[in-house]
Structure 1
């Protein structure tokens, strides 16, 4: 179950990167904003749902509480994206973000997106570390257990 969580967490990072790509490509589209950002918006809702499912999987996989909380933080930050858009749009009666105040508030949308990416990447990295097989209470492979350097691995240069 931990490997499934690690795989899904890595997939979340890739989806968030795709979200940045969709935002950038829509920003340079000649179509109206509502039309050009439609796939970006739809994927944003998908990220919220995916992060909710990932939080549930984290709990079922009995991941550490802090990791479950960080996964839930992704949900909150992703919901915050829609709130930022709504607040920015509220600065203008037409519903777009063309006012200076609206643009300043909407700039937080990109900052929040970067925070989402950083948290999602941290979740994925920690999940991968926890899903590795354990050897004598330490992760196997580079950095721990079998094949590592340090006191647990024995002498660095065995006597001939």
Structure 2
């Protein structure tokens, strides 16, 4: 189950990186905004649903609470993305042709996207670490039952 979670985390990271690509391609497209940003908008739904699925998998796999919370945070930050976009559109409808408050608010969309990228990177890193098998089978590994070379704990060494 932990390997499944790590695989979903890697898929989420791929989706977040692709989201930045679709945002840039939409921004530089000559098509109307609704059409240019369609892939970006569609992938946004995936970026919301995937962490929700991951939270369920994390609960079943009994992942640590911090990882569980960070995964939920990605879904929450995705909701914030939608709120930022709606607020920006609402402030853009004032009719002012200079730099509008909507444009300034919409800048937070990119900043929040970077936060999503950072949290997702943390989730991927921790999920990969937890999905690796324990290192207890190697000789000399801590907890393997094999004594490490050197004096036993609590014994005095002769002075040189």
Coarse TM-score class (shorter-chain normalised): 0.7 to 0.9
Find out whether 1:37 has 2:37 as its counterpart.
Answer: yes
List structure 1 runs of 4+ shifted beyond 2 angstroms.
92-95, 152-155
- Could you say what the CA RMSD is over the residues aligned between the two structures, in angstroms? 2.4
Find out whether 1:134 has 2:134 as its counterpart.
Answer: yes
Find out whether 1:56 has 2:64 as its counterpart.
Answer: no
Contact 1:91 1:99 in 2 (8 A): no
Contact 1:55 1:68 in 2 (8 A): yes
Provide the C-alpha distance between the structure 2 equivalents of 1:74 and 1:92, rounded to a whole number of angstroms. 27
Structure 1: stretches of 5+ with no match in the other structure: 147-151, 156-160
Q: Mark the CA change 1:131 to 1:102 in structure 2 (over 3 Å): closer, same or farther.
A: same
Contact 1:48 1:79 in 2 (8 A): yes
Contact 1:92 1:99 in 2 (8 A): no
CA shift, 1:31, in A, is 0.5
Q: Which residue of 1 aligns with 2:12?
A: 12
TM-score w.r.t. structure 2 length?
0.82
Provide the C-alpha distance between the structure 1 equivalents of 2:29 and 2:107, rounded to a whole number of angstroms. 19
Q: Which residue of 2 aligns with 1:22?
A: 22
Structure 2: stretches of 5+ with no match in the other structure: 150-160
Provide the C-alpha distance between the structure 2 equivalents of 1:110 and 1:93, rounded to a whole number of angstroms. 20
Q: Which residue of 2 aligns with 1:158?
A: none
CA shift, 1:12, in A, is 0.3
Question: C-alpha deviations, 1:63-109, integer Å up to 9, x for none?
Answer: 000100000000000111000000111113379xx852001100000
